Chain A
Amino acid sequence: MNAHGGDRSLLTRAYAAGLGLYPRAFRDRFGDALEAAVIDRVRAARRSAGASGAALAWANVFIDLALTAAAERGSQVASGARRAAMLAGEVIHPETTPGSRNAMNAFLQDLRYALRGILARPGFSAVIIGTLALGIGANTAIFSVVEGVLLRALPYAQPGGIVHISHKGDFGSVSEGEFVDYRSGTRSLSKLAAFSFAEGNLTGDRDPERLRFARVSEDFFSILGATPVHGRTFSADENRRGGPRVTVISHGLWLRQFGGDSSIVGKTIRVNGGAFTVIGVMPRHFDYPDAEVAAWLPMRLNYDTLWSRNNHYLQLVGRLALGATPGVAATELMGMAKPWPQQFPEIYKPNSPPIVTIEPISDAVLGRTKPYLVALLGAVGFVLVIACVNVANLLLARTESRRRELAIRTALGATRGRIVRQVLTESALYAAGGAALGLPLAWWGWRALISLAPATIPRLDLVSLNVPVLLFTLITASLTGFLFGIVPAFRAARGDAGETLKSAGKTSGQGFGLRRARSALVVAEVALAVVTLTGAGLMPRSLARLQSIDLGIKPEHVLSVQVAATPARYHGEAAVAFYDNLLSRVRAVPGVQAAGAIADLPIADDHSDYSILLDGAPMTSVANAPVATPEQVTPGYFETLGIPIVAGRAFTEDDRASADKVVIVNEAMVRKYWPHTNPIGHTVKMLNEKSAWATVVGVARDVRHGGYLADPPPTTYFPYAQSDQTVYNAPSRMSLVVRGTGDASLLTAPVRAIMHDLDPAVPLARVQSMESLVSASVASRRFSTQLLALFALLAVVLAAIGIYGVVSYSVSQRTFEIGLRMALGAESAAVLKLVLREGIALAFVGLAIGGAVAIVIMGFARSLLVQVSIADPVTLAAVALLLTATAGFASYLPARRAMRLEPTRALRSE
């Protein structure tokens, strides 16, 4: 039950507050019992029909609350009147007393009137209720996602004080020496911890699994304020080098591999052949540093013999001391780093100490998703405003057209209060209808969003339908209804009924102020639609431009599989033989055209720069050393991914461990280090005593390893078979790439079969087509593009409704005038022009204003728009064209009606 405690208790509280709607006596008598019954009711609904059942139950409960509270108040007034009458000594019979049930009767009468009015204009009512439902539904659904991902507190204790620390510029990460210096010197951070990533193979009873680990230093868990659901985190002893080998596992791994059995604590798991005791299980939503981490290991820094200060591989997380801000802490750490270039001239360039960046953890976790969500939120806001404007507009038109009706009722003796109340009742019914329809829409939209959203959006599983947002939207929409219902009602009630009735024949001159107000509303609506549409138009253009960037690989028909033949299992020659064997068997599969492997797969894996030496030049200092990204590949890799070798040769089976050491470089490397010379025959060496010099034998075309927006870094490709001699060591996992002729996923089964046959204990991971990997890299972008398109569609439809409403109303008001014109010989084409002009003129004003606003607003969304100007003429022209066409169409319907007017009837119409 407590899994849903958050939103349930919120709704229960909302219900408890809602009890205030009942008359006091009733509430005092039954309030507690009501609440208890409602809790029982919702609980039962949740048990039998899950979250949707509970949501439906809550909807019913709140509708019931509103209706019965009104009814109970009504009957209280009635019984009060009856009692008063009794006290006065009258003998009464409830059914026959005229005064006794007046209040209730009046209410019911209003309700009947309003219902009749609503049903009498089904089209109009459907549009209003539909508009409200769309506004309420879409708004609630989207905002629920945005709130859940972006705004709700992170699952850490006091997340405001937690900061992520990294270096900017030459060093992305922090080295051990730097971490130790920061930690001992800082005052603005009360605690500071380091972490890095590692991978390993989990083996046991079940299928072997490739795991991602975070190696964390002491204080890591206490900084995040996270406590395990079972067991504990690392003790001081376990954090020390040489201490017992232990691990804390993630909730996901616990469920996946160990069936959620809490007795796992204390048991041993085997990773890369080594035994680790599980000492804790973290809670479900604990996903720091990222959601892929399946287990945490103690880092066990050896403070006596730290790794080279040049080895930047740590990320830091810290907790701010009381009163400190990220800015203060950054300044402090930067001050500490300032003397380092003098102290360690071989590491840092002169006068360029590391630049420290400190950001709140929320930015670090949500950073990449944030702009998309904010853009969506903006679109939601626009659509909500448009919906409200539309409702206002329609209600204004409606009330204006019933001035006569209201005037007659006033003339017949209805009080002003009564008339205002009647109009309000109608608005309330519209709001209730919109809410009743909007609720399921919100629920459905929320489900749809979650299922459509790319998995890269963090904390998606935390998203629940947001009740405060629902209430907010509901109240906003209802208030709009009330406001725009009541203003004309007051006017009608205040106005001189006789005047209205007398002037009824000259409607075309009537309500000029009101008409202007309605025109202004339509202009606003069109302008908002322009903004939404411009955003929606720019995003797909930007996406298309982005996807037209050449990645440097041909991902079609290529399957990729991560294979982890770890050093513990396969070493040296054995590992080379394993991959040779695997590749030759895969190549023999019918339909396979080429196969190869690489340590860090483009798009999917991280790639880091390492210092290198060139052409036998001795090392001067790390600071001055050239850098390149090392890759380890097997023969066949370039061919499989369609990467052309532009000079020299590709690797062959002959480039084995015992052969001459060779390397292939990319064009970026050539441009940077050997411009205007033939690079073949030059030599490269990793900055490491152990590494051998390798001779450049070929040049490969550039590949955008980091995705569409990442420039290809200078890259060195070493043969896998030589990698423990030329790079630091052989990689512990390789990504197999296999090129077929058709659907890449058809290759999955044969590859799995071969792997199982070779060694069932080697885990396969990330079995995916190269195309889907590439497509997933722009998933967030695509998702928000699609959503925005949806919103834009909504905005255009609503704007069309608005224009139609205004023009249509204006035509009905000008029936007499149009009839007169036609009687005087105006042709129907002239009438058409007259009517169309009105609608299109409104659209033009809206377009001009909206265009200007759009350009300003898109400036804020710049980070989402690549390769496309915010004032993209094609998009703006398309938006203008679309909206003008919409306005034309929305005006054409009433114009056609006007054209078909028979002049004689039109003239008699009033």
Chain B
Amino acid sequence: MKRDPASALPVKPVDFLILLALSAGEAHGYALMRDILERSAGTVRLEAGNLYRSIRRLLDEGLLAESGRRPAPDADDERRRYYALTPFGRKVVAAEALRLRTLVRFAEAQRLIGPEAS
């Protein structure tokens, strides 16, 4: 089933953070929690229950898939699950980023915020 990424927009902020974190490669639950905490400069602390509710939704919507690959077994808790973006998920996160950029440009045009120095 071919789906239009735009149909999944807008993406909830928390979901967006999860998708962004996974765009760098697959990760397990706690790694995601830590990653998001760091990337949000400590402002978004996802607890396990909240994270997995989002993951459940994203799996149901086909944006994520459980990854079969695992690191070396002795270095790992076997109960950990690893997740990766699906191709569709990758398109959605990009589409959301574009959507947000459009919005930010709008805010800049309104002189609400200055354009970021580059």
Contacts and interface: CB of A to CB of B under 8 A. Distances in A.
Interface of A: 22, 26, 29-30, 32-41, 44, 60-61, 63-65, 67-69, 71-72
B97 interface: no
A37 B48 contact: yes
B33 A64 contact: no
B95 to A, nearest CB: 20
30 contacts: A29-B56, A30-B52, A30-B56, A30-B81, A33-B29, A33-B52, A33-B79, A33-B80, A33-B81, A36-B29, A36-B81, A37-B29, A37-B51, A37-B80, A39-B77, A40-B30, A40-B80, A41-B30, A41-B47, A41-B48, A44-B30, A44-B34, A61-B47, A61-B48, A64-B47, A64-B50, A65-B49, A71-B53, A72-B49, A72-B53
Contacts of A65: 49
Contacts of A67: 49-50
Nearest to B47: A64
Interface in B45-72: 45, 47-53, 55-56
Contacts of B28: 33, 36-37
Contact of B47 (A26, A39, A60): A60
B74 to A, nearest CB: 15
Contact of A37 (B33, B45, B53, B56): B33
A34 B77 contact: no
B79 A36 contact: yes
Interface in B28-42: 28-30, 33-34
A32 to B, nearest CB: 4
Nearest to B46: A64
Q: Is the interface of A mostly helix, strand, loop or mixed?
A: helix
A38 B52 CA distance: 11
Nearest to A35: B79
Contact of A36 (B45, B55, B77): B77
Contacts of A61: 47-48
Which of the listed residues A26, A33, A34, A64 has the most CB atoms from chain B within 10 Å of its own CB? Answer: A33
Given A64-B50, A68-B50, 10 more contacts: A22-B49, A36-B30, A36-B79, A37-B28, A37-B30, A37-B52, A41-B30, A61-B47, A68-B47, A68-B49
9 interchain residue pairs of minimum CB distance = A68-B49, A64-B47, A37-B29, A40-B30, A32-B79, A33-B81, A36-B79, A37-B30, A64-B49
Contacts of B47: 41, 60-61, 63-64, 68
A182 B69 CA distance: 69
Interface residues of B, number: 19
Interface string B1-13: 0000000000000
Contacts, number: 71
Interface string B75-88: 00101110000000
A61 B80 CA distance: 17
Contacts of A38: 48
Q: Most chain-A Cβ atoms within 10 A of its Cβ — which of B34, B45, B47?
A: B47
Contacts of B56: 26, 29-30, 72
A616 to B, nearest CB: 84
Contacts of A71: 53
Nearest to A63: B47
A597 B33 CA distance: 66
B48 A64 contact: yes
The residue among A29, A36, A39 with the most chain B CB atoms within 10 A of its own CB is A36
Contacts of A26: 52-53, 56
Given A33-B79, A33-B80, A36-B28, A41 B49 contact: no
A703 B34 CA distance: 66
A30 B55 contact: yes
A89 to B, nearest CB: 21
Contacts of A33: 28-29, 52, 79-81
Contact of A34 (B34, B45, B48): B48
B49 A69 contact: yes
Contacts of B45: 60
Nearest to B76: A36
Nearest to A71: B53
A72 B28 CA distance: 21
A37 B34 CA distance: 10
Nearest to A36: B79
A80 to B, nearest CB: 14
Contacts of B33: 37, 41
Contacts of A37: 28-30, 33, 48, 51-52, 80
Contacts of B49: 22, 34, 64-65, 67-69, 72
A40 B52 CA distance: 15
A237 B33 CA distance: 60
Nearest to A61: B47
A33 B79 CA distance: 6
A40 B30 CA distance: 6
A29 B80 CA distance: 12
Contacts of A34: 29, 48-49, 52
Nearest to A57: B47
A36 B49 CA distance: 12
A319 to B, nearest CB: 42
Nearest to B60: A79
A44 B51 CA distance: 17
A68 B29 contact: no
Contacts of A22: 49
A189 to B, nearest CB: 48
Contacts of A72: 49, 53, 56
B86 to A, nearest CB: 17
A689 B69 CA distance: 87
Nearest to A60: B47
A41 B55 CA distance: 17
A59 to B, nearest CB: 10
Contacts of A40: 29-30, 77, 80
Contacts of A30: 52, 55-56, 81
Contacts of B52: 26, 30, 33-34, 37, 68
A770 B46 CA distance: 57
Contacts of A69: 49
A825 to B, nearest CB: 64
Nearest to A26: B56
A72 B34 CA distance: 23
Nearest to B49: A68
Given A29-B56, A30-B56, A44-B34, A36 B80 contact: yes
A632 to B, nearest CB: 65
A35 B29 CA distance: 10
